[in-house]
């Protein structure tokens, strides 16, 4: 007797693999977390193998899960391709998406994978820059959709989430103990003035030690323990980690991640892209790192 795999369960599994967790997957699939977990369980029972390693924070694929994922993506792709071919028209074209470089890695891969699965013939051109430049490009028609990091959204903008800003530096670095505090920022970085104002209010001397047009140059300088930088909570990287300052550096406040979409007639593909972006970024939450005040001698 022939056995059939449930495509719904395969899609749930592929979405969890793409997003790295059940919570975001549930939002994208418009299901409850328990429903997504149940779909994964049914698939594991059907295949008689464990697909996910749930130990620790988040979920990881087991070796068998890696194998199954490749088949799941192929099966879902064929399913979606057949449905598209049976429709009268398959959406095509290009959407120019602008995103600040520092909020790309954590969320945009999941956004692009989810969108590509639904609209395989619509090309996404990803433009990475600072918020001020993206606003200029959007106003001039150079981007169809942009994300920004700013204190409050402007006209036409929708704030998706609001998160604290945090200090970052090199792993086991000491740059944050030095006075004046050495800072590294891109020339047009919107966080620069916020960080400087917070230091002034805390009566901490500072100097802009490194400026660059490239975010890569800033990342390299900070990871080399030459200076400190500021990022949105949760968007630190292995090269730039939260500084364990124990309250000896000031809080910088919060910043919003906002979404803007061009006012031109909204086609289904762009509408779906903005929905996916809202779902993925809207699930972000602060890490709730609360520094405990400790006495640290500043280096001179």
Residues 206 and 183: beta-carbon distance below 8 Å = yes
191 Cβ neighbours under 8 A, 6+ residues apart: 149, 165, 185, 230, 231, 252, 255
Predicted confidence (pLDDT) at residue 43 exceeds the cutoff of 70? yes
Residues 113 and 15: beta-carbon distance below 8 Å = no
Average pLDDT over residues 121-131: 93
Q: How many C-beta atoms surround the C-beta of residue 15 within 10 A?
A: 26
More confident of the two residues 49 and 294: 49
How much is the pLDDT for 109? Answer: 92
Mean pLDDT, the chain, whole residue set: 88
Q: Is 255 exposed, middle or buried (0-12, 13-18, 19+ CB in 10 A)?
A: buried
Predicted confidence (pLDDT) at residue 224 exceeds the cutoff of 90? yes
More confident of the two residues 6 and 80: 6
Q: Is 225 exposed, middle or buried (0-12, 13-18, 19+ CB in 10 A)?
A: middle
The top-scoring range by mean pLDDT among 44-48, 80-84, 157-161 is: 157-161
Cα angle for residues 61, 116, 146 (degrees, 5° grid): 110
Judged by average pLDDT, the poorest of 116-120, 202-206, 272-276 is: 116-120
| DSSP letter for each residue of 123-155 | EEEEEEE-HHHHHHHHHTTS-SEEEEEESS--T
Helix (H) or strand (E) holding 97: strand 93-100
More confident of the two residues 293 and 84: 84
How much is the pLDDT for 24? Answer: 83
Helix-helix angle 7-19:33-47, to 10 degrees: 110
Half-sphere exposure of 112 (CA within 13 A, CB side): 16
Helix (H) or strand (E) holding 116: helix 108-118
> Longest C-alpha distance within the chain, in Å?
77
């Amino acid at each position: 007797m022939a056995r059939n795999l449930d495509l719904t369960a395969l899609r749930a599994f592929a979405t969890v693999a793409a997003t790295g967790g059940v919570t975001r997957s549930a939002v994208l699939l418009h299901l409850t977390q328990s429903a997504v977990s149940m779909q994964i369980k049914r698939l594991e029972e059907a295949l008689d193998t464990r697909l996910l390693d749930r130990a620790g924070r988040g979920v990881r694929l087991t070796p068998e899960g890696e194998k199954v994922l490749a088949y799941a993506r192929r099966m879902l792709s064929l399913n979606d391709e057949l449905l598209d071919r049976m429709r009268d028209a398959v959406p095509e074209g290009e959407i120019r998406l602008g995103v600040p470089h520092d909020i790309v890695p954590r969320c945009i891969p999941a956004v692009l994978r989810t969108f590509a699965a639904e609209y395989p013939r619509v090309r996404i051109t990803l433009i990475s820059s600072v918020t001020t430049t993206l606003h200029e490009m959007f106003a001039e028609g150079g981007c169809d959709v942009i994300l920004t990091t700013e204190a409050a959204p402007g006209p036409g903008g929708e704030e998706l989430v609001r998160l604290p800003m945090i200090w970052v530096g090199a792993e086991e670095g000491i740059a944050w103990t030095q006075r004046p505090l050495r800072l590294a920022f891109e020339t047009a970085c919107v966080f620069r003035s916020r960080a400087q104002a917070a230091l002034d209010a805390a009566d901490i001397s500072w100097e802009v030690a490194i400026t660059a047009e490239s975010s890569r140059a800033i990342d390299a300088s900070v990871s080399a323990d030459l200076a400190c930088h500021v990022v949105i909570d949760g968007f630190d990287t292995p090269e730039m980690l939260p500084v364990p300052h124990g309250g000896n550096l000031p809080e910088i406040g919060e910043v919003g991640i906002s979404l803007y979409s061009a006012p031109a007639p909204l086609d289904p593909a762009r509408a779906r892209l903005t929905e996916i972006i809202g779902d993925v970024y809207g699930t972000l939450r602060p890490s709730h790192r609360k520094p405990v005040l400790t006495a640290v001698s500043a280096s001179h």
